Structure 1
């Protein structure tokens, strides 16, 4: 998985490429912990994310909990396969997906 970050003031965009799974989720989690402080808007760009596992969902949910306290979080450009996972797990009801 590739992680691209774009910081614009208090807005942070994280674009993911590849698979967010048990192997790669810890990398994203570490990246978020080091980057999310002081961020008012967190945007995930999932245009090139092919797959998300339960480990990836846990990291996204954790980020959502932090952002509920300090700003807002949006997920954009979600692939059909990833959207299916969000729908089956009920994440569509707790995440802002555009």
Structure 2
């Protein structure tokens, strides 16, 4: 998986490409642990994301909980496959998806 970080003041956009699964989730978790200090707006750009596993969902849920305390989080450019995963798991009701 490729993660692209774009910081603009207190806004952080993480572009995700490839597969977010048990192998790559720890990489995203490290980026979030080190990169959320002072961030009030977090965006996950999923334009290039092909696959999302339960490990990836866990990371998104953790990020959502953190951002509820310090700002907001949204998910953008979700393809049909990923959207179906969000709907089946109930994440579509939890996340702000644009």
Q: TM-score, normalised by structure 1?
A: 0.99
Equivalences for residues 56-71 of structure 1 within 5 A: 56-71=56-71
Matching residue of 2:23: 23
Q: TM-score, normalised by structure 2?
A: 0.99
Unaligned segments of structure 1, at least 5 residues: none
Query: How many residues matched?
Result: 98
The 2-side partners of 1:11 and 1:92 are apart by: 22
Unaligned segments of structure 2, at least 5 residues: none
After superposition, the C-alpha distances for 1:30-57 in whole angstroms (9 at most, x for unaligned) are 1100001110000000000001000000
Alignment RMSD = 0.3
* Structure 1 segments (4+ residues) deviating >4 Å: none
Superposition deviation, residue 19 in structure 1? 0.3
